[in-house]
């Protein structure tokens, strides 16, 4: 397929870009996928990685259609059926149980390395997708009915549509000149793998503390992957602590939950920000995943939003092709931009508001009232859960169980 004109050229084969490539090639589009760093083979013998994601049922359905979910679940993953939220003050936690909401599970904890490797295996098998790896985006030039994408290696690709899936520092976005509104939280997310006295029974547990939330996400071997949001200076101090001192602080912060900490792996800290692009589409080019938006990780929605972008775009392109339209037309770009930008802005501001409610002490009465409302109101809880599970009314139909074959049927 080299030296041909592609339907779609995707820059970035992270979790989101590789998933879009699989969806589109399975729907019969000619796809080029450019990735700077060849994904490392997932090693099930190595210890659990520091980066994990809570994959919603909606995202799992999308990954299933992309052909990656079976590969993922054949490895170490942990489904969770209960989510428990505490504010460190109220004695009664807020509890969400999957069966109560007619869900088989609330989500699945998966290592990012496994997600990316599984998606990469799908795209590299079968010769349906041309991969350019390792290679980098050089520039994008609008030329008639196609964009010309030049790569660092000197190769030039032509495509009706270019997709920037190249992460938060997206070169595609910069090349388009799309501006971003950015809010830096002055917080870091501290991550580590932790074993407590009692094994994690498959519960995603979160306690809101004055400096930021602390989450324990269940792993296949009974340990938990923690994400502890701390003010940046605090995070720096805590990264420098020796293991016993760090454990003492983590024990105090998670007291009452599964007993004392018995094991602690390496730690890492990631700066947290909210970034929203002013536009997700311009000049036969669209942005998906972190290239378009970065949200606070307190509800573990970042990559789930990215998978929903990928599914929504795939659905739009399939429908456009069926109608005989141009997949890079201004109309297609406008439709994608409107639907996905409003969805991720709603999520980003929702996360921002929840974070503020818990971070600003003077808002404590409002927070208590909000928690009480969620506890007693079934419709509010149901709405929140459907959204978090990625299967609400605004979710792409691939997330709600529609298959690619159904979308392609005349």
Ligand X SMILES: Cc1cc2nc3c(=O)[nH]c(=O)nc-3n(C[C@H](O)[C@H](O)[C@H](O)COP(=O)(O)OP(=O)(O)OC[C@H]3O[C@@H](n4cnc5c(N)ncnc54)[C@H](O)[C@@H]3O)c2cc1C
Backbone angles phi, psi at 60, to 5 degrees: -60, -40
Q: How many chain residues touch ligand X (CB under 6 A)? A: 32
Give the DSSP H or E segment for 251. Answer: helix 243-253
| Dist CA 287 CA 14 (whole Å) | 13
- Kindly tell me which residue out of 1, 4, 28, 37 binds ligand X, with binding defined by CB under 6 A: 37
Residue 304 contacts ligand X per CB under 6 A:
yes
- Kindly tell me which residue out of 67, 213, 218, 302 binds ligand X, with binding defined by CB under 6 A: 302
Label residue 326 exposed, middle or buried (CB < 10 Å: 0-12, 13-18, 19+).
middle
Residue 191 contacts ligand X per CB under 6 A:
yes
Do residues 345 and 65 lie in contact, with contact meaning Cβ atoms separated by under 8 Å? no
- Kindly tell me which residue out of 303, 316, 347, 395 binds ligand X, with binding defined by CB under 6 A: 303
| Dist CA 390 CA 380 (whole Å) | 16
Helix axes 364-376 and 378-388, enclosed angle (nearest 10)? 100
Residue 17 contacts ligand X per CB under 6 A:
yes
Residue 391 contacts ligand X per CB under 6 A:
no
Which residues, numbered 126-145, are part of the site for ligand X (CB under 6 A)? 136-137
Do residues 200 and 226 lie in contact, with contact meaning Cβ atoms separated by under 8 Å? no
Which residues, numbered 144-173, are part of the site for ligand X (CB under 6 A)? 165-167, 171
Residue 219 contacts ligand X per CB under 6 A:
no
Token duo for residue 372: 């009480």
- Kindly tell me which residue out of 5, 36, 100, 357 binds ligand X, with binding defined by CB under 6 A: 36
Q: Which is nearer to ligand X, 120 or 257 (CB)?
A: 120
| Dist CA 401 CA 390 (whole Å) | 11
Least distance to ligand X, CB of residue 215, Å: 8
Least distance to ligand X, CB of residue 151, Å: 8
Instruction: Name residues whose C-beta falls within 8 Å of residue 158's C-beta, 6 or more positions apart in sequence.
Output: 5, 6, 143, 146, 147, 148, 149
Tell me the residue number closest to ligand X, measured at CB.
14
Least distance to ligand X, CB of residue 34, Å: 5
Residue 212 contacts ligand X per CB under 6 A:
no
Residue 82, strand partner residues: 97, 203
- Kindly tell me which residue out of 270, 319, 335, 400 binds ligand X, with binding defined by CB under 6 A: 270
Give the binding site for ligand X (CB under 6 A): 11-17, 34-37, 53-54, 136-137, 165-167, 171, 189, 191, 227, 270, 289-290, 297, 300-304, 306
């Amino acid at each position: 397929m080299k030296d041909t004109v592609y339907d779609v050229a995707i820059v970035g084969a992270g979790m989101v870009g590789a998933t879009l490539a699989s969806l589109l090639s399975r729907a019969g589009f000619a796809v080029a996928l450019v990735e700077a760093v060849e994904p490392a083979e997932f090693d099930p013998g190595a210890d659990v990685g520091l980066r994990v994601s809570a994959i919603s049922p909606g995202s799992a359905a999308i990954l299933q259609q992309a052909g990656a979910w079976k590969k993922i679940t054949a490895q170490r993953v942990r489904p969770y059926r209960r989510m428990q939220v505490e504010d460190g003050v109220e004695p009664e936690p807020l509890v969400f149980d999957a069966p109560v909401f007619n869900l088989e599970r609330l989500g699945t904890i998966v290592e990012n390395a496994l997600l990316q490797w599984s998606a990469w295996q799908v795209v590299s098998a079968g010769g349906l997708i041309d991969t350019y790896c390792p290679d980098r985006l050089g520039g994008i030039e609008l030329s008639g009915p196609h964009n010309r994408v030049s790569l660092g290696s000197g190769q030039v690709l032509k495509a009706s549509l270019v997709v920037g899936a190249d992460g938060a520092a997206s070169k595609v976005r910069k090349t388009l000149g799309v501006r971003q509104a950015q809010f830096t939280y002055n917080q870091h997310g501290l991550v580590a793998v932790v074993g407590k006295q009692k094994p994690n029974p498959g519960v995603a547990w979160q306690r809101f503390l004055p400096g930021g939330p602390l989450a324990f996400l269940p792993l296949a071997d009974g340990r938990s992957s923690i994400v502890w949001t701390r003010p940046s200076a605090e995070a720096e101090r805590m990264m420098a602590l020796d293991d016993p001192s760090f454990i003492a602080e983590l024990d105090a912060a998670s007291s009452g939950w599964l007993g004392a900490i018995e094991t602690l792996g390496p730690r890492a800290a990631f700066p947290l920000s909210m970034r929203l692009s002013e536009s997700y589409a311009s000049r036969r080019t669209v942005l998906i995943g972190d290239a378009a938006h970065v949200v606070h990780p307190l509800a573990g929605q970042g990559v789930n939003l990215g998978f929903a972008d990928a599914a929504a775009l795939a659905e739009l392109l399939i429908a456009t092709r069926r109608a005989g339209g141009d997949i890079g037309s201004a109309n297609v770009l406008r439709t994608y931009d409107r639907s996905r930008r409003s969805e991720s802005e709603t999520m980003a501001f929702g996360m921002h508001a929840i974070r503020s409610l818990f971070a600003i002490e003077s808002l404590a009465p409002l927070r208590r009232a909000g928690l009480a409302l969620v506890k007693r109101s079934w419709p509010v809880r149901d709405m929140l859960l459907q959204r978090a599970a990625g299967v609400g009314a605004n979710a792409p139909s691939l997330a709600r169980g529609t298959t690619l074959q159904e979308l392609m049927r005349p």
